[in-house]
Amino acid sequence: MVEVSVRNVKKSFGATEVLRGVDVLVPAGGFAVLVGPSGCGKSTLLRLLAGLEEVSAGTIHFGEREVTHLEPRERDIAMVFQSYALYPHLSVRDNLAFGLRLRKTDDAVIRQRVDEVAGMLGLGALLDRLPKALSGGQRQRVAMGRAIVRRPALFLFDEPLSNLDAALRAQVRVDIRRLHDQLGATSVYVTHDQVEAMTLADVMFVLNRGVVEQAGAPLTVYDAPATRFVAGFLGSPAMNFVQGVIEASGDQLRVRVGVGDESLPIPAGEFTSPALIPGLRVDVGVRPHDLVLAPPGAAAFELSVDYVELLGPEIQAHGALAGAPIVAALETQSNARKGDRIPLSVKRLQLFDAESGRSLR
Amino acid sequence: MSQPGDRRVPLIESLLSHLVVLLFVAFSLYPVLWVISLAFSGAAVPEARVLPIPREPTLDHLWAVVSTTRELEGETAWLFGRQLANSLVVSLATALVGVLIATPAAYALARFRFVGKDAGLRVLLATQMFPAVASAIPLYLLLDALGLLNSRTGLVLCYATTAVPFAIFQLRAAFEAIPVDLEEAAMVDGATRAQAFRKVVLPAARPAIAVTALFAFMSAYNEFILAATLLGREEMFTLPVVLQRFIGEYDAQWEAFAAGALLVSLPVMALFYVTQRHLVAGLTSGGVKG
């Protein structure tokens, strides 16, 4: 169990700058998730932690120990690859034992540890099979087992669930978090899937174009996104954005959206940025689940519905406001139909500086 | 999992496809059958017939070829045995040298970036464009200067120069088909790069290496022109040169030639039989991922 500390790490491949000064701190025993769109640098950061790539600048510490320039084998880590990377010519047992054998572990200890891990992951009946005779889910478990059996100080996961079907993915996600809680080692997990990020993480790092846009507990990041990018990246369906201008109305600030005179009140005390002054151009963000059917007269605006998705537990009504597409996630009983104009109120909104994309909280 | 054999094929379709296959097999086997027929034929002169069936069957020709002896250094030596040994030793050594040199070279070309890589690859490719005959005279002069004419070592050196570039190309494709993840997983698991290569990459590339070795063996075993140029003494001949000796300018010993050809093919047929499983896997391993 080690604390992972990445300080101002940069990484370039030729002229391409993939990481542009990244700081990451994962407390010992914590589960950190690096999340972001493809090309954001999250996998590169993981490979730097593993020692599979050299940093261009900056340092990496595991606990007190600086590992920046150490070989992978000197870092006391285990990694689960997206492709699982099982050794095709070795049986499941030998795959599990591979790392221990390299470290000249005693045969009796190897046997005992392999059996223990096989029991933990339900691999007992598969020990003598070759990887090609396993299903995708079984391979994934062998890859997990191969990491666990070595009892490393740090687990690295590179999108380990992306080759599984949806049902299995949800199951294994729970298993991974349970194993983490059981084993207690620090974990760093890379994914582009926000559901995995939200559900697994103690601390989440949202990366975009080589920088950490925001770090924090998943719910904090979800509820108070620091940038427009983070707000748009997390949540499904994605947050709605409408351009607007801040205006004063008495002693209260409101945000006027679009060309009409529709305007929304800005809750007092919630947005405290000194930049928030009348005339400022902003992006207003509202999550689909924060749009609710309003009682007559209390609506913030009316949405003319041009498309409806029936999901069972909820209805997603699509329309537009001031030229921007809007999705509202409504209760199924609301019975919204195509062609309806439905009155909506806003439970909660986000404001971002239109220039910088920074939150105005 | 569904196997290709699970599908029920209509009888007529099956018959037709077998007929076509049979036709091709007959087409390619016909000359071979003639050689076999001739080898066992007792009749003096071969005559043109449709069916390759031996006339007056006999084992005399085979025996005559196998039992050739010569007086060498005052002793009676089993000439055919020596020549067979020449062929096998030269071919095995070529395969061994070829694979030993080509494997690390191919791995480096598949995995690392270094100065001169592209140029090196192009040069390797260029060596494949010239027919071996073109280099026969220079090679003769080189070996002469080195005192390696009429020696197995000299022949192996020459064969290796052509076997290595081809082997490098084949093995490079095989290494490229092995996911880098495997090596990285091994290195995270505690292996050095050398250990990752030895314990993970080499086993995964084994079928391709076997095929490459077989190709090198075969091309050396079948090679005629260089052997005929570089070997002057009868007891140093490899089998293709021996075979050619049966066909003279004024006289052709067709039966002996056929019997010799049959004997020469036996080791290769045995080798193919033993390695055919690897062969199919190896030939496709470069092209198909995973």
The two tokens of residue A238 are: 């994605």
Residue B73 counted as domain residue: no
SS3 A305: coil
Q: Give the total number of structural domains in chain B.
A: 2
Q: Does B181 touch chain A (CB under 8 A)?
A: yes
Residues B44 and B132 in one domain: no
Residue B65 counted as domain residue: no
Task: State the pLDDT at residue B45.
Answer: 61
A259 pLDDT band, cuts 50/70/90, is low
For chain A, what is the mean pLDDT? Answer: 93
Nearest CA-CA distance, residue B54 and chain A, Å: 49
Nearest CA-CA distance, residue A190 and chain B, Å: 16
Domains in chain A, start-ordered, CATH in brackets?
A: 4-226 (3.40.50.300), 240-353 (no CATH)
Q: Taking residues A132-152, what's their average pLDDT?
A: 94
Stated pTM of the model:
0.84
Tell me the torsion sign for CA atoms B41, B46, B47, B48.
Answer: positive
Residue B66 counted as domain residue: no
Cα angle: A272, vertex A275, A276; to 5 degrees: 60
Task: State the pLDDT at residue A118.
Answer: 95
Residues B171 and B208 in one domain: yes
- Nearest residue of A to residue B183, measured between CA atoms: A85
Residue B226 and residue B137 in contact, taking contact as beta carbons nearer than 8 Å: no
Closest CA to B200 of A131, A190, A137, A69: A131
Task: State the pLDDT at residue A261.
Answer: 66
Residue B67 counted as domain residue: no
The whole-angstrom separation of Cα A56 and Cα A51 is 12
CA torsion B73-B76-B79-B81 (nearest 10°) is -110
Provide the number of CB pairs (under 8 Å) joining chain A to chain B: 62
Q: Which residues contact A200 (CB under 8 A, 6 or more apart)?
A: A31, A33, A173, A176, A177, A189
Compute the radius of gyration of chain B from its Cα atoms: 23
Chain B contact probe: residue of A67, A71, A113 with most B CBs at under 10 A: A71
Q: Taking residues A74-100, what's their average pLDDT?
A: 95
Q: Does B118 touch chain A (CB under 8 A)?
A: no
Amino acid residing at B80: F
Residues B54 and B113 in one domain: no
Is ipTM beyond 0.85? Answer: yes
Q: Taking residues A218-232, what's their average pLDDT?
A: 96
Nearest CA-CA distance, residue A320 and chain B, Å: 46
> CB–CB of A81 and B181 under 8 A?
yes
Residue B213 φ then ψ, to 5°: -60, -40
Q: For B160-188, write each residue's pLDDT tens digit.
A: 988 999 999 999 999 999 999 999 999 99
Residue B70 counted as domain residue: no
**Which CATH number do you get for residue B276?**
1.10.3720.10
> CB–CB of A88 and B182 under 8 A?
yes
Greatest distance between any 2 Cα atoms in chain A: 79
- Residue B175: which domain range? 78-285
Within 8 A of A95 by CB-CB distance, chain B residues are none
Task: State the pLDDT at residue B284.
Answer: 52
Within 8 A of A82 by CB-CB distance, chain B residues are 181
Within 8 A of A89 by CB-CB distance, chain B residues are 203-204, 206
- Nearest residue of B to residue A74, measured between CA atoms: B190
A159-163, A201-205, A258-262, B84-88: least confident range: A258-262
Tokens 């529709």 correspond to: A262
| Chain A residues with a Cβ under 8 Å from any Cβ in chain B | 50-52, 71-73, 77-79, 81-83, 85, 87-89, 98-99, 102-103, 146, 150, 156
Within 8 A of B192 by CB-CB distance, chain A residues are 71, 73
A200-204, A209-213, A297-301, A303-307: least confident range: A297-301
Residues B202 and B171 in one domain: yes
Tokens 């090196």 correspond to: B120
Q: For A295-348, write each residue's pLDDT tens digit.
A: 877 888 889 999 999 998 899 999 998 888 999 999 988 888 898 889 998 999
Q: Taking residues A163-187, what's their average pLDDT?
A: 93
Residue A327 and residue A288 in contact, taking contact as beta carbons nearer than 8 Å: yes
Task: State the pLDDT at residue B288.
Answer: 37
- What angle do helix axes B11-39 and B254-285 make, rounded to 10 degrees? 140
Q: Is the pLDDT of residue A232 over 50?
A: yes
Q: Does B198 touch chain A (CB under 8 A)?
A: no
Tokens 């949800």 correspond to: A170
Residues B143 and B243 in one domain: yes
> CB–CB of A98 and B186 under 8 A?
yes
Nearest to B182 among A85, A102, A103 (CB): A85
Hey, what long-range contacts does A48-51 have (CB within 8 A, 24 or more apart)? A48/A6, A48/A9, A48/A11, A48/A19, A49/A4, A49/A6, A49/A77, A49/A154, A49/A156, A49/A188, A50/A75, A50/A77, A50/A79, A50/A156, A50/B184, A50/B188, A51/A75, A51/A77, A51/B187, A51/B188
The whole-angstrom separation of Cα A53 and Cα B137 is 50
Residues B24 and B84 in one domain: no
Q: Is the pLDDT of residue A37 over 50?
A: yes
Residues B82 and B146 in one domain: yes
Within 8 A of A103 by CB-CB distance, chain B residues are 190
Residues B16 and B83 in one domain: no
Distances (CA, A) of A131 to A85, A126, A136, A140, A173: 10, 9, 10, 10, 22
Nearest to B190 among A88, A102, A156 (CB): A102
Nearest to A73 among B190, B200, B204 (CB): B190
> CB–CB of A89 and B189 under 8 A?
no
Nearest CA-CA distance, residue B280 and chain A, Å: 17
Nearest to B203 among A82, A85, A89 (CB): A89
Residues B47 and B127 in one domain: no
The secondary structure of B215-248 as a DSSP string is HHHHHHHH--HHHHHH--SGGG--HHHHHHHTB-
Q: Taking residues A69-75, what's their average pLDDT?
A: 96
Nearest CA-CA distance, residue A217 and chain B, Å: 29
Task: State the pLDDT at residue B6.
Answer: 54
Within 8 A of A88 by CB-CB distance, chain B residues are 182, 204
Q: Which residues of chain B have pLDDT under 70?
A: 1-7, 43-48, 279-290
Residue B247 counted as domain residue: yes
A283 pLDDT band, cuts 50/70/90, is very high
> CB–CB of B188 and A73 under 8 A?
yes
Closest CA to A34 of A183, A156, A120: A156
Nearest CA-CA distance, residue A70 and chain B, Å: 11
Amino acid residing at A146: R
Residues B188 and B237 in one domain: yes
The whole-angstrom separation of Cα A75 and Cα B64 is 70
Residue B69 counted as domain residue: no
Tokens 């285990």 correspond to: A78
Task: Tally the residues of chain A.
Answer: 361
Residues B104 and B40 in one domain: no
CA atoms within 13 A on the CB side of A30: 20
Hey, what long-range contacts does B221-225 have (CB within 8 A, 24 or more apart)? B221/B87, B221/B88, B221/B91, B221/B267, B221/B268, B223/B132, B223/B159, B225/B132, B225/B133, B225/B136
Residues B25 and B159 in one domain: no
CA atoms within 13 A on the CB side of A64: 0
